[in-house]
C-alpha cells in the first residue's frame, strides 16, 4: 500500500497545476461556463477512449440497483472545486486557493471518517487527528498572512 502514496502525491501535484491551467483557460475563453465545458469535455473524451479500450468489467444490474442514489453525484461535487479554481485562483493566488481547498477537504474527510458517512468505515477523531486539523488551519493562516 505504500506504493500508492507517491501516486496520490502526484495526483495532488497535478491538481495544483490544473487549477492555474483552468484559470488561464477561463481568461482566454472569457466565459467561465464555456471554459468549464471545454475542461470537462476533454475529460469525458479521454474516458470514452479509455472505456472503449478497456470495456470490462461491466457492472451487474444488481450492483446498479443497489447503488445509492447519490453515488453518481461525486463528479458534480468535484466539478464545484474545478469551477471555483477557474473563477478564483487568479484573485487569491494558487497557494491560498490550494491551502483552503486542501484544508477544507481534509477536515471534512476527518468528519466523514469519524461518522462513517457515505459508506466509509468509521475512523474516530482522535486527539492526534484533531491536532492535525488545527495544524492545517494554522498553515492556512500562515499561507494567507500578508
pLDDT of residue 1: 81
pTM above 0.85, yes or no: no
Chain segment 65-121, per-residue pLDDT in tens: 999 999 999 989 989 988 998 899 999 998 899 889 989 998 999 999 999 999 999
| Domain parsing of the chain, residue ranges | 1-69+84-91, 93-146
- DSSP state, 116? T
Amino acid at each position: 500500500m505504500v506504493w500508492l502514496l507517491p501516486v496520490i502525491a502526484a495526483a495532488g501535484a497535478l491538481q495544483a497545476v490544473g487549477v492555474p491551467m483552468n484559470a488561464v483557460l477561463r481568461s482566454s475563453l472569457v466565459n467561465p461556463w464555456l471554459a468549464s465545458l471545454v475542461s470537462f469535455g476533454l475529460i469525458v473524451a479521454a474516458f470514452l477512449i479509455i472505456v472503449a479500450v478497456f470495456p470490462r468489467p461491466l457492472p451487474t444490474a444488481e450492483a446498479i440497483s443497489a447503488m445509492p442514489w447519490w453515488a453518481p453525484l461525486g463528479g458534480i461535487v468535484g466539478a464545484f472545486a474545478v469551477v471555483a479554481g477557474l473563477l478564483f485562483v487568479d484573485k487569491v493566488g494558487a497557494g491560498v486557493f490550494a491551502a483552503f481547498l486542501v484544508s477544507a477537504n481534509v477536515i471534512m474527510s476527518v468528519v466523514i471518517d469519524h461518522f462513517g458517512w457515505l459508506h466509509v468505515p468509521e475512523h474516530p477523531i482522535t486527539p492526534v487527528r484533531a491536532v492535525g486539523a488545527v495544524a492545517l488551519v494554522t498553515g492556512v493562516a500562515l499561507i494567507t498572512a500578508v
